Amino acid sequence: MENVPANFRPDLSNEEFVSGFTDPADERIEVGVLFVGAGPASLAGAIRLAQLVAERPELQ
């Protein structure tokens, strides 16, 4: 048996961190992908997404 982080998950529920919509429907912006932050992970994710869309235009 391996010691991997997935085997030691904290006793938390998603509801503690994710809430429902709080803004009225006419003020919401629907997005397919959202990158939060301007760090290297967001930049890498945006570049990879652009590559995937270039390879498979049906994703657009």
**pLDDT, mean of each 10-residue run, the chain (60 residues):** 82 83 90 90 94 88
d(CA 37, CA 12): 25
Evaluate whether 20 touches 14 at the Cβ level (below 8 Å).
no
Question: What is the reported pTM?
Answer: 0.53
- Domain ranges for the chain: 35-60
Evaluate whether 35 touches 46 at the Cβ level (below 8 Å).
yes
Query: In the prediction, which pLDDT does 1 show?
Result: 60
